[in-house]
Chain A
Amino acid sequence: MIAPTTGSPPILQLERVSRRRGGRPAVRELGLSLAGGQVLGLLGVNGAGKSTTLSMIAGALQPDSGTIRLDGLDFAEHPELARQRLGWLPERAPLWPELTAGEHLDAHGRLRGLHGAALRQARERVVERLELQPLLRRLASALSQGQRQRLGLACALLHGPALLVLDEPGNALDPVQVAALRALIREQADAGTAVILSTHLLAEVTAVCNRVAILHEGVLHHDGPVAADGHAALERRFFDIAMAGGAQAA
């Protein structure tokens, strides 16, 4: 577990953010802030609002109300902030099936404003770090889900973002890849990147996060440091919230 960073100004701030999806409230009055070096685990059962929250943070969805600030600036008014400051790995790592892994890196680099030598250096860095060399000439449609996740992660990291948003990044990874992913997240946090990680795996949170937020039915029920007693305490808290919500719904 990484030691929490305190005192640094928040990179990300969510103020009373709400969003409806499919005719029902998916996220309600959510408030969060995240500073550089922090790794926030966003926990919740399926349909808790995790992916909606992350899509709003990444700029792919507009909140119905509330404000998202990146580096203190309103994200709705400065969507271009996403280009340099934010890296996002959506759930299931969507890719263009007709392009190779190398072409994905080039395209993402250019979309982020990288060109020439800067793009080449950034590409070499992530290819080496994520061991993508053997995949560079392979079409995205021919990649396994684990390889897709690695490529998606490389695209998210290419421009050295200040905020890394990962939506269930451990899905479809084998235990060795999960360990490598955790090491990578720790490395990013040590370098000062704020990381927000959505998962429904409690072990993932205790292994890599220094803060945990628990969402249930779109409402933030808990936001605090990962307790020293780790997994057992978190599991108790998570089930208390999930079961209480379930009982209420019943």
Chain B
Amino acid sequence: MSTLAVMRLEWRRLFVRPLGWVLAALTLAELAWRFVLLLGNFLGMQVRLAALPSGPGFTDLVGVPLLSSLLTGGFIPFGFTELALIVVPLLAMSTLAGERSNGTLPLLFGTGQSAASIVLGKYFALMAWLLLWLALTLAMPLSLAHVAHLDWGKLAAATLGMVLLLAALAAIGVACSDFASHPAIAATAGILLVLALCSVQLGAQSAGVNNNLIDWLALPSHLEPLLRGLVSSADIVWFALLTVLALALAVRRVAAEKERD
């Protein structure tokens, strides 16, 4: 119950701050632009696609590319994944660093909240906002479900990939906010960390290093199969591990706040 109370408080704070609304408006407008471009491209290819017996469909050329540029390349305009790498750390930056700078973190302890309920309450509120953002993005391809043939299985796998990605990014964002003294530092650290997770593989490849561990560490190695419609428990476990590790570190750090000198 106390986690729910913290979650409601954090949700309310997210809801009344302009940052969330501005980010939602800008990113959804950008995603709508990407959707229109992808749709125009898809419609322009109709004749060629009709000649292919098992050519790519609406989901391959519009639905999944709207969520990520990983499979299609051509990053601009950004897909949902690329935007999430920036948006999530920005939204998460104030969760705990903001409490610390307001002086309200001790107040939460004073109401008998445990470190776990503080961290989890904030995390779940952030996840609720992010899932709403994902739902509004998915509404774009789904709005054409009655006229286009959707590959529901592939779209469900890609959606699962997005949910896991958001869960991991939100956990990293909350942990960074917990370790930073100021929200701006938390946002910078969060963005750098997730960019490092995304590019570790590319860096190694360009240096001529081909290492399984580096491949395993890289976020795209686990997201790409899900975007292709391949759900593997190894990828789900990777995201779950990352999420749990980040949240566990955040809980430990908040608990240590009471013991700080």
Query: B1-13 toward A: CB 8 Å interface, digit per residue (1/0)?
Result: 1101110110011
Chain A CB count within 10 A is highest, among B13, B16, B111, B261, for B111
> In the complex, are the beta carbons of B5 and A88 less than 8 A apart?
no
Chain A nearest CB, measured from B239 CB (Å): 31
Cα–Cα distance between A24 and B17 once the two chains are bound (Å): 39
Would you list which residues of chain B between 110 and 135 have a CB under 8 Å from chain A?
Answer: 110-114
Give the contact-size bracket for chain A.
20 to 34
Contact of B114 among A62, A79, A90 (CB under 8 A): A79
Chain A nearest CB, measured from B147 CB (Å): 43
> In the complex, are the beta carbons of A94 and B107 less than 8 A apart?
yes
Q: What DSSP secondary structure best describes chain A's contact surface?
A: loop
Which residues of B sit under 8 angstroms from A62, Cβ to Cβ? Answer: 258-259
The 4 A-B residue pairs with the shortest CB-CB distance, nearest first, are: A83-B112, A60-B106, A94-B103, A82-B112
A91 nearest CB neighbor, chain B only: B103
Contact of A95 among B2, B8, B102, B108 (CB under 8 A): B102
Query: B221-261 toward A: CB 8 Å interface, digit per residue (1/0)?
Result: 00000000000000000000000000000000000001101
Q: What DSSP secondary structure best describes chain B's contact surface?
A: helix
Chain A nearest CB, measured from B162 CB (Å): 28
Which residues of B sit under 8 angstroms from A61, Cβ to Cβ? Answer: 106, 258-259
Cα–Cα distance between A204 and B112 once the two chains are bound (Å): 29
Q: Is A92 an interface residue (CB 8 A)?
A: yes
Which residues of B sit under 8 angstroms from A103, Cβ to Cβ? Answer: 12
Q: Is A80 an interface residue (CB 8 A)?
A: yes
Contact of A90 among B4, B8, B106 (CB under 8 A): B106
Chain B nearest CB, measured from A148 CB (Å): 11
Which residues of B sit under 8 angstroms from A55, Cβ to Cβ? Answer: 106
> In the complex, are the beta carbons of A92 and B259 less than 8 A apart?
no
Please list 7 pairs of residues, one from A and one from B, whose beta carbons are closer than 8 Å in the complex, sorted by A's number: A20-B261, A58-B106, A58-B110, A60-B109, A62-B258, A82-B111, A113-B1
Binding site for B on A (CB under 8 A): 20-23, 55, 58-62, 79-84, 86, 88, 90, 92, 94-99, 103, 107-108, 110-113
> In the complex, are the beta carbons of A88 and B110 less than 8 A apart?
yes
Q: Is B104 an interface residue (CB 8 A)?
A: yes
> In the complex, are the beta carbons of A107 and B261 less than 8 A apart?
no
Contact of B8 among A23, A59, A94, A107 (CB under 8 A): A107
Contact of A111 among B17, B102, B106, B113 (CB under 8 A): B113
Cα–Cα distance between A96 and B14 once the two chains are bound (Å): 12
Chain A CB count within 10 A is highest, among B8, B108, B110, for B110
Which residues of B sit under 8 angstroms from A60, Cβ to Cβ? Answer: 106-107, 109-110, 258
Query: B95-108 toward A: CB 8 Å interface, digit per residue (1/0)?
Result: 00000001110111
Cα–Cα distance between A185 and B9 once the two chains are bound (Å): 29
Contact of A80 among B4, B8, B112 (CB under 8 A): B112
> In the complex, are the beta carbons of A83 and B2 less than 8 A apart?
yes
> In the complex, are the beta carbons of B110 and A96 less than 8 A apart?
no
Cα–Cα distance between A62 and B259 once the two chains are bound (Å): 5
Which residues of A sit under 8 angstroms from B17, Cβ to Cβ? Answer: 98
> In the complex, are the beta carbons of A94 and B102 less than 8 A apart?
yes
Which residues of B sit under 8 angstroms from A81, Cβ to Cβ? Answer: 112
Cα–Cα distance between A97 and B261 once the two chains are bound (Å): 27
Cα–Cα distance between A38 and B135 once the two chains are bound (Å): 56
Which residues of B sit under 8 angstroms from A79, Cβ to Cβ? Answer: 109, 112, 114
Chain A nearest CB, measured from B188 CB (Å): 22
Chain A nearest CB, measured from B173 CB (Å): 19
B14 nearest CB neighbor, chain A only: A98
> In the complex, are the beta carbons of A22 and B112 less than 8 A apart?
no
A114 nearest CB neighbor, chain B only: B5
> In the complex, are the beta carbons of B111 and A98 less than 8 A apart?
no
Known: A59-B112, A81-B112. A95 touches B13 (CB 8 A): no
